[in-house]
Structure 1
């Protein structure tokens, strides 16, 4: 009995020490230096000139505290590998046609929208008292269509964690990115597993998964068409706090896909900056950037409907 009590106490201590690591923190020079030391020194695939990437970090709904951390990490990864030039913005005017053409790819950084309409562009336009609600919706639809056309014509789009919520009630956006956000249980340690250890975009994980504390995202709508190439997954049976019992325990949390001639990369893992303190994850994100700009060729054929 004493051994059981001791083991239980040790488990509590271990879990508490794990969850303590996810406490929010301000960006410091020491933390940036740590990320720089872990970031890859070169790209996986040789580049032909630097690509221009917009990192768009506006949120109108839930504010993920890691937004500035994610922005800093992505910038460090791309610049250390000498592969990308970044523009950082929270201005929706960047999604006007003439401005989009400056970029080879866009990274949406936790661009969560308000719950009412789940439409970030509308959220911004609705604050203009000179516009009617219909005018605000029309203008927001124009920007969304610009983004859809931009990717479909051959450009890249990378979505970090909550970015999938940006236009969450739009069927067109959901079809482009591979699904819509449904819900997530509480933050907890997640055992992340590789769908295909031989796939080039998960090569950084050395054929093994990893465990980190994150929000375990569940998806709906277009997700169930599996019109993407999954990269990472979690087992729902390993999780606490599910909203309902699941019949399909394998849940994909990172994938790539084509939209027209453009490329999409989505990574749900990245809610906490502590997850970036992992050189394998940094390499994964760099490879993802190389994929969306067209440098890294790999199998991105749809997984397809499952029986």
Structure 2
């Protein structure tokens, strides 16, 4: 009995240590070779026209160390599948109407704005122009409208992890993306599960979900409209450090939705580049990208508010 107890305690200690000691690293040659080896060799939907995607990767607030890893991951998926090409962007001009027309989809790659305003477009204007604050208050909403109209008219939008905060205090933007960031407990090992194992966008997980170390995100604003098709969830009662009472033990962390003629895919996984070493997650991102590009057709009807 003592041996079993000690073994169990050691396992718990190792899991906690793993969650608290995720090491940051650069996307070096060894890591890139690993990702290229495990990345999908071909897309789920073949014989499609080659698309252009803008991977917007400028954070003006909290900087996620996985930004360069996500760029390289998407470049590898592009190289191996040959169905899209990656264009990386960092400046406000990318959200001009004429510029957005050049792309079939935009990827928000952890482009977190600063607080408390959480307005990426205003931040970018402050950093890249000499406009006064009064002028920025007029100009920033125009860029927000450009992005929303881009999706509404048929563009795709893929949002990775922290980029859900891009316009975090805008309810209209929240309605487009499916929700806004509220808070997250400490990093910890968690089991992310599929909402519907038969849905084509989660086929990569084979009904087993994904166990990894991540930040469990909680959401607000339009999230509680449930105007999306949920894909992945975590169980709140299995988490540590939950700071607010919840009405639903199921917390969705990834979803898809329509916005006008366009499509949106959001994935909270993952805060850490180590998660990208799961081939299932790479396949999931590729399928999500094919969804927003309009190649992968699937049920994206909104679930509606739980009864």
TM > 0.5 fold call: yes
Contact 1:47 1:295 (8 Å CA) reproduced:
no
TM-superposed CA distance for 1:26, in Å, is 1.4
TM-score by length of 2: 0.96
| CA–CA distance in structure 1, aligned partners of residues 137 and 11 of structure 2 | 51
Aligned to 1:126: 126
Q: Does 1:64 align with 2:64?
A: yes
Question: SS in structure 1 opposite 2:192?
Answer: strand
Aligned to 1:26: 26
Aligned to 2:92: 92
The 1:129–1:264 alpha-carbon spacing in structure 2 relative to 1, beyond 3 Å, is: closer
Aligned to 2:135: 135
Aligned to 1:212: 212
Aligned to 1:153: 153
Aligned to 2:252: 252
Aligned to 1:109: 109
| CA–CA distance in structure 2, aligned partners of residues 215 and 234 of structure 1 | 11
TM-superposed CA distance for 1:16, in Å, is 4.9
Question: SS in structure 2 opposite 1:126?
Answer: helix
Mapping 1:275-290, distance limit 5 Å: 275-290=275-290
| CA–CA distance in structure 2, aligned partners of residues 125 and 139 of structure 1 | 8
| CA–CA distance in structure 2, aligned partners of residues 231 and 150 of structure 1 | 24
Cα deviations across residues 252-282 of structure 1 (Å, max 9, x unaligned)? 0000000001000000011111111011111
Aligned to 1:183: 183
TM-score by length of 1: 0.96
Cα deviations across residues 31-89 of structure 1 (Å, max 9, x unaligned)? 00000000000000113221000000010111111111111111111221111111011
Which structure 1 residue ranges, 4+ long, deviate > 4 Å from structure 2?
Answer: none
Contact 2:92 2:125 (8 Å CA) reproduced:
no
Question: SS in structure 2 opposite 1:287?
Answer: helix
Aligned to 2:14: 14
Unaligned stretches of 5+ residues in structure 1: none
Q: Does 1:48 align with 2:53?
A: no
| CA–CA distance in structure 2, aligned partners of residues 130 and 203 of structure 1 | 49
TM-superposed CA distance for 1:126, in Å, is 2.6
| CA–CA distance in structure 2, aligned partners of residues 126 and 240 of structure 1 | 38
| CA–CA distance in structure 1, aligned partners of residues 110 and 91 of structure 2 | 14
The alignment covers a number of residue pairs equal to 307
TM-superposed CA distance for 1:123, in Å, is 1.1
The 1:25–1:93 alpha-carbon spacing in structure 2 relative to 1, beyond 3 Å, is: same
| CA–CA distance in structure 1, aligned partners of residues 232 and 144 of structure 2 | 28
Contact 1:78 1:286 (8 Å CA) reproduced:
no
The 1:305–1:19 alpha-carbon spacing in structure 2 relative to 1, beyond 3 Å, is: closer
| CA–CA distance in structure 2, aligned partners of residues 235 and 295 of structure 1 | 31
The 1:72–1:129 alpha-carbon spacing in structure 2 relative to 1, beyond 3 Å, is: closer
Contact 2:232 2:254 (8 Å CA) reproduced:
yes
TM-superposed CA distance for 1:3, in Å, is 2.9
Aligned to 1:291: 291
Mapping 1:160-171, distance limit 5 Å: 160-171=160-171
Question: SS in structure 2 opposite 1:288?
Answer: helix
Cα deviations across residues 100-149 of structure 1 (Å, max 9, x unaligned)? 10000000000111112110110122346742212112111111100000
Cα deviations across residues 224-276 of structure 1 (Å, max 9, x unaligned)? 01000000000010000011232211000000000001000000011111111
RMSD: 1.5
Question: SS in structure 1 opposite 2:157?
Answer: strand
| CA–CA distance in structure 1, aligned partners of residues 240 and 152 of structure 2 | 38
Of 22-31 and 128-137, more deviation after overlay is shown by: 128-137
| CA–CA distance in structure 1, aligned partners of residues 21 and 90 of structure 2 | 29
Cα deviations across residues 158-211 of structure 1 (Å, max 9, x unaligned)? 000001001100111101000000000000011101000000000111122121
